[in-house]
Structure 1
Amino acid sequence: MSRYDLTDLEPLLPNKPRGVPRVDDRRVLNGIFWVLRSGAPWRDLPGRYGPPTTCYNRFVRWRKAGVWDRLMDAITKAHDSKVQMIDTSIVRVHQQGATGKKGDRDHCLGRSRGGLTTKIHALVDAKGRPIKLMLTAGQKSDIASAADLITDLPEGAMLLADKGYDANTLRNAVIERKAWANIPPKVNRKGPICFSPFLYKARNLIERFFNKTKQFRRIATRYDKLAENYLAAVKLVAIRIWLRAYESTS
């Protein structure tokens, strides 16, 4: 077994009881994860995982069918909601990821000092396990997707974020949910706010989450032309992080 191989997701995958037997799901999933981890082009997929076109086509077809989204929703139901954290991470876009067709579709590409970039917005739980993931262009502010990430923030929860999220709009949104925003104040903030530096130390868990995702080279650098495919890849890596967490406690 390769060190890139997966344990068990088959019970959560679509079932096809009739028709021509398809290539084994485990084999295909391991092939997809091999590409995500190694950063290699799909065409360089080792033969033990089957035809590269089979792995790529199933990855895209299941993304379009919402399979990866449903897997993410199902596996994150067990999250610890008492403490949640939001943050972002910038990803460089490879030149082959910047050749998508222009038009109305949002490719989540933006120009910054480092060139073309995409920004991953993440919400994780008290154990650093991902709950929600979103993409924007790299030049978008960190707080741009904060309101969408915390729509399910439960009553009594604590939200941790760095001072880039110190805005009255976000604080008020958290208060409306009867939760508490533990966010350090910006230097230009007027008036005192409630902030605990001790509780804030736990925020390093979301930074660890981003470090884990970027061990997968196709996440650390974006090669996908379509934002939908890149986000699906990030979600698959997030699912793997959850599975590893389950394995460590079993």
Structure 2
Amino acid sequence: MRRHELSDAEWEFVQPLLPESLRGRKRLDDRKVLNGIVWKFRTGTAWRDVPERYGPWATLHTRFRRWAADGTFDRMLRAAQAKADAAGDIEWLVSVDSTIVRAHQHAAGARKGGSETRPLGWSRGGLTSKIHLACDGRGRPLAFVVTGGNINDCTRFITVMEAIRVPRLGPGRPRIRPDHVLGDKSYSSRAIRTWLRRHGIAHTIPERADQVRNRVRRGGHGGRPPAFDREAYKHRNVVERCFNRLKQWRGIATRYNKTAQSYEAAVALASLLMWA
């Protein structure tokens, strides 16, 4: 096993989740292809510069684009989460946050419209994307949404929460509701707190300073301050550690992909291996 390749344990975990080729001529070994894809996103190199030991770069790119288009990486991630949930390995103290990803100049120029729109936006750092993510209490991704870097965190909170959907291995509906949600001040809004209460989800989100001042200024009409569990909030750092692990993949820390579909597939692949 070389650097940035799947270990035997990781391959044993991933292999049953890969789709089988039921027709056509014999294709390049899946492990070799997946090692090449992982190497490419780990290093952030161009497809044409992937070492020849992984096979023709065009084959790697075609296989990756096919798996990204048909949702293979998403299904693999869901299957990994279902396996962990069946073993009681998911800690449902969920933390939510976002991180900015600088877009390389190669990420520009994608075809506009269609199913491959590119979530890029202008922020203080220039042309950027943003990953909005929810992770479990052990710092493993449960769901994520990619947007332009200029999108406010609170506007995608509900979208991220609704993307949490962990299937059951046996009968039963997928689990979609955490036990508790942790978020920073950027998620302190009446709409978010109302949505969480409506769904019966306990939460720990600190108030912003301007919200505290407005409540105090209104006196008895300002209402009571929201409950805040300081001990629970200390665990919110797991989402920062989750982003730190994701950004060890240079192809994720800097976005080189033109299409949202490819970049989201890369994040799903990295998330899958965190579960492995």
Question: TM-score under structure 2 normalisation?
Answer: 0.84
Tell me, yes or no, if the aligned pair for 2:91 and 2:138 is still in contact at 8 Å. Answer: no
Tell me, yes or no, if the aligned pair for 1:87 and 1:123 is still in contact at 8 Å. Answer: yes
* Counterpart for residue 39 of structure 1: 44
- How far apart are 1:17 and its partner, in Å? 3.9
The amino acid that maps onto 2:177 is: P
CA distance in structure 2 between the partners assigned to 1:84 and 1:130 by the alignment = 10
CA distance in structure 1 between the partners assigned to 2:112 and 2:60 by the alignment = 27
- The RMSD of aligned alpha carbons is 1.4
CA distance in structure 2 between the partners assigned to 1:154 and 1:212 by the alignment = 25
State how 1:26-65 maps to structure 2 within 5 Å: 26-65=31-70
* Counterpart for residue 187 of structure 1: 209
Which stretches in structure 1 are left out of the alignment for 5+ residues?
Answer: 244-250
Deviates further, 215-224 or 76-85: 76-85
* Counterpart for residue 124 of structure 2: 113
State how 1:6-17 maps to structure 2 within 5 Å: 6=6, 7-8=10-11, 9-17=14-22
1:178 aligns with 2:200: yes
CA distance in structure 1 between the partners assigned to 2:104 and 2:24 by the alignment = 39
Q: What is the total number of aligned residue pairs between the two structures?
A: 242
Which stretches in structure 2 are left out of the alignment for 5+ residues?
Answer: 165-175, 216-223
CA distance in structure 1 between the partners assigned to 2:149 and 2:64 by the alignment = 25
* Counterpart for residue 154 of structure 1: 177
* Moved >2 Å (runs of 4+): 77-82, 101-106, 151-155
* Counterpart for residue 92 of structure 1: 102
CA distance in structure 2 between the partners assigned to 1:82 and 1:139 by the alignment = 29
CA distance in structure 2 between the partners assigned to 1:173 and 1:102 by the alignment = 34
Question: TM-score under structure 1 normalisation?
Answer: 0.93
The amino acid that maps onto 2:74 is: D
Tell me, yes or no, if the aligned pair for 2:111 and 2:117 is still in contact at 8 Å. Answer: no
**Residues 111-147 of structure 1, C-alpha deviations (whole Å, 9 max, x = no match):** 1121100000101011111000111110000112110
- How far apart are 1:19 and its partner, in Å? 3.0
1:225 aligns with 2:258: yes
CA distance in structure 2 between the partners assigned to 1:150 and 1:92 by the alignment = 24
- How far apart are 1:241 and its partner, in Å? 0.9
Q: In percent, how many aligned pairs have the same letter?
A: 41
* Counterpart for residue 249 of structure 2: 216
- How far apart are 1:20 and its partner, in Å? 1.1
| Higher radius of gyration, 1 or 2 | 2
* Counterpart for residue 2 of structure 2: 2
CA distance in structure 2 between the partners assigned to 1:103 and 1:60 by the alignment = 18
